Amino acid sequence: MQNIYFHQIFNELQQFNKIALASLAWAIIVGLLFHFLLPGEQEMKKVDNVIYKTMEPKTVVTTYNPPEQFYFAGEKVPLHIPDVRERFDREMHVNLYYHSNTILMLKRAKRWLPVMGQILKKNNIPEDFKYLPLIESSLANAVSYRGAVGFWQLMEGTAEEFGLEVNNEVDERYDPIKSTEVACEYLNRAYRKFGNWTNVAASYNMGMYGLQRRLNEQQVNSYYDLLLNSETARYVFRILALKEIIENDSYYGYEFPDKHLYSEEPVKQVMVTRTQNDLVNFAINQGINYKLLKRHNPWLRTDRLTVRSGESYTIDIPIINKDDQDSYVHSGK
């Protein structure tokens, strides 16, 4: 009986040893795998470095301080006032890092700001006002939800008051040159009222009556001292920021070849004294296509132009190389 008992114990011990040996073997195998397949502490640091370098940003985000002194239309901006400096700083950074819009404005500025500067000078308006249509429309023939149109965002009533034609076929608010002339008339009228160009700029956003009412209510004389709605409170500072960025574009990192900018396109002027019932054919007869006609004369709003007796219109026709003419014109024959 004892022999059977000891034999049973011996078999159980033998079975336990087999399990223990198998477990030990697996532990050794797993340990070897961890040792040879996973990097050690030194290797882990290298991996960390590789990951860090992969995730390293391509550009360095930085901040810019506003200039210590700044002028708009010959008038000093009171940057020593904390909220004035902060509002200027805000618009600088908003526009500096709104890359796509700022780049497009810089490209368009090459084409339009020189001619606008000449019109402003002719009308005795400070040259700094050429930056105003950049914040109004980004130098594009935009239409606002309020119905303001063109580079200078003129309302229909204002345009007609200053002599522009606005109807179904013709809307001269879309004409960058004529709308600039009208803007000059407004700005001169506002200056006669306020005697201060900064206030004039603010009034372009909220109207002469609106600005004067706020000045009276708050018993101050300067835009910089007014508590205003968010849009007008930012308005002049947006002009200041774009002036600073455009005049110092390379300093702020906006560098691209001159050929990347949009240049003025040469045109010839054709006087039209008779009604044109088909501007598509009119364009083809001028050696261009309808798209180019409308590109250079966005004030033409339909495909016809009614010319009343004794009146005329001047239409810009782009000058293109004869070799390229076939690519612009299709006669349909």
pLDDT 10s digits, 260-290 = 999 999 999 999 999 999 999 999 999 999 9
How many domains in the chain?
2
Contacts made by residues 110-114, CB under 8 angstroms, sequence distance 24+: 110/258, 110/261, 110/262, 110/263, 111/139, 111/261, 111/262, 111/263, 111/264, 111/265, 112/139, 112/151, 112/176, 113/246, 114/264
Residues 291, 236, single domain; the answer is: no
Does the residue 163 lie in any domain?
yes
On whether both 164 and 306 belong to a single domain, the answer is no
Are 217 and 75 part of one and the same domain?
Answer: yes
Q: Buried b vs exposed e over 45-72: b needs ≥16 C-beta within 10 Å?
A: eeeeeeeeeeeeeeeeeeeeebeeebeb
Domain final residue, candidates 210, 243, 260 = 260
Residues 219 and 281 in one domain: no
Residue 241 near residue 97 (C-beta atoms within 8 A): no
Check pLDDT > 90 for residue 114: yes
| Residue 79 and residue 182 in one domain | yes
Asked if pLDDT for residue 18 goes beyond 80, the answer is no
pLDDT for the residue numbered 65: 75
Can you give the CATH number for the domain in which 191 is found? 1.10.530.10
With tokens 């409308």, the residue in question is 294
Per-residue pLDDT, 263: 93
pLDDT tier, 183 (very low <50, low <70, confident <90, very high otherwise): very high
User: Is residue 95 in some structural domain?
Assistant: yes
Q: Say whether both 77 and 185 belong to one domain.
A: yes
Query: Within this chain, do residues 211 and 322 fall inside the same structural domain, yes or no?
Result: no
In this structure, is residue 215 part of a structural domain?
yes
Q: Provide CB contacts within 8 A for 110, sequence distance 6+.
A: 258, 261, 262, 263
Report pLDDT digits (tens) over 44-92: 444 444 444 455 555 677 788 778 899 999 999 999 999 999 999 999 9
Instruction: Show which of 260, 281, 307 is a domain's final residue.
Output: 260
Mean pLDDT of the chain: 87
- Average pLDDT (16-21) is 56
211 and 82 assigned to the same domain: yes
Please report where in the chains the tokens 């495909």 appear, as a residue: 303
The pTM score is 0.79
Contacts of 265 (CB under 8 A, 6+ apart): 111, 296, 318
Phi first, then psi, for residue 76 (nearest 5°) are: -75, 135
Amino acid identity, residue 158?
Answer: T
Of 260, 293, 317, the one marking the end of a domain is 260
The CA distance from 261 to 108, in Å, is 7
Has residue 60 been placed in a domain? no
pLDDT tens-place string over residues 45-55? 444 444 444 55
Q: Quick check: 13 pLDDT over 50? A: no
pLDDT value of residue 9? 47
The proportion of the chain whose per-residue pLDDT surpasses 70, expressed as a percent, equals 78
**Are 246 and 271 contained in the same domain?**
no
- Per-residue pLDDT of 208-227, as tens digits, reads 999 999 999 999 999 999 99
* Contact (CB, 8 A) for 93 and 154: no
Instruction: Look at residue 310 and tell me if it is in a domain.
Output: yes
Task: Give the separation between CA 2 and CA 233, rounded to whole angstroms.
Answer: 105
Identify whether 36 is part of a domain.
no
Is 33 a member of any domain?
no
* Same-domain pairing of 81 and 183: yes
302 and 205 within one domain: no
Print the domain residue range for 323.
267-328
Is the pLDDT score of 158 beyond 90? yes
Residue 11 placed within a domain: no
Whether residue 159 is predicted with pLDDT greater than 90 in this model: the reply is yes
Domain co-membership, 252 together with 287: no
